[in-house]
Amino acid sequence: MPNLALFDFDGTITTSDTFAPFLFYAAEPARIIIGRLVLSPLIVGYKLGLVSASRMRRSAARFVFRGRREADVREAGLEYSRNRLANVVRPHALERIRWHQAQGDHVAVVSASLDVYLADWCRRLGVELICTELEAEEGVLTGRYRNGDCCGPAKAKRVRERYDLRRLSFGVMAP
């Protein structure tokens, strides 16, 4: 029976959050300035524990990405993946992923972070990906998520949809 090794990304594989830094990396400068003003009530609410991380991420992503060309944001994601993620990845996490791969295990990253940068990172490492995906219509981002935010119970649901858990055993890594 093959093993299934599931890894969260931010804070498990990485030493820090990658979602917010990507927003700043990919955002147009004017959107950063205006976004800080427009989103400030949510930011304060989030810091006080009154607004969930999921709502904060959705709102920020909508503000930063709505109306942007999908190709531009995907290019920024590719650059971010290749130039920035290596700086925050834990060497021990990479060793553990490679160990699971050497054992022949199914390895997947399951994350609320975005497909536009995680897809390239996971592809290069040879692991599967279940994550939050930006929605686009006719090459333009809507600012919404396709299939919702991949956090909390949604992570478990997506894992069950992707894998026949009756046929697998599990490996879990904590940070």
Task: Let me know if domain 3-172 sits in CATH 3.40.50.620.
Answer: no
pLDDT of residue 164: 79
- 12-35 pLDDT, tens digit per residue, is 999 999 999 999 999 999 999 999
pLDDT of the residue at 163 = 86
* Section 153-161 average pLDDT: 92
Classified as helix, coil or strand, 133 is strand
Q: In what order do the strands lie in the sheet with 169-172?
A: 140-146, 128-137, 106-114, 3-7, 169-172
What are the residue ranges spanned by the domains of the chain? 3-172
Q: How far is residue 5's CA from residue 127's CA, in Å, rounded to a whole number?
A: 10
Cα-based distances in Å from 11 to 17, 22, 129, 138, 170: 6, 15, 16, 34, 20
User: How confident is the model over 39-85, as pLDDT tens digits?
Assistant: 999 999 999 999 999 999 999 999 999 999 999 999 999 999 999 99
DSSP assigned state of 85? G
Pairing status of strand 106-114 against strand 3-7: parallel
Mean pLDDT, residues 146-173? 82
Measure the CA–CA gap between 63 and 34, rounded to whole angstroms.
9
pLDDT category of residue 37 using cuts at 50, 70 and 90:
very high
Distance CA 156, CA 81 (A): 25
Based on C-alpha coordinates, what's the Rg of the chain?
A: 17
pTM value is 0.89
Residues recorded for the chain: 175
CB atoms within 10 A of CB 61: 22
